Amino acid sequence: GGIDISPIILLLIIFFIRQLMWTTIVPALM
């Protein structure tokens, strides 16, 4: 079960990190 769920968790973590970086870098540039 863990092997099937891990990729989904990794995708969610990567997506969350990208959103976090996006919301912190864009305001800094603006």
Q: Which amino acid is it at 28?
A: A
Q: Which amino acid is it at 3?
A: I
pLDDT digits (tens, 9 = 90+) for 5-22: 788 999 999 999 999 998
pLDDT the model gives residue 30? 83
User: What's the predicted TM-score (pTM) here?
Assistant: 0.55
C-alpha 14, offset from chain centre: 3
Kindly tell me if the per-residue pLDDT of 1 is higher than 80.
no
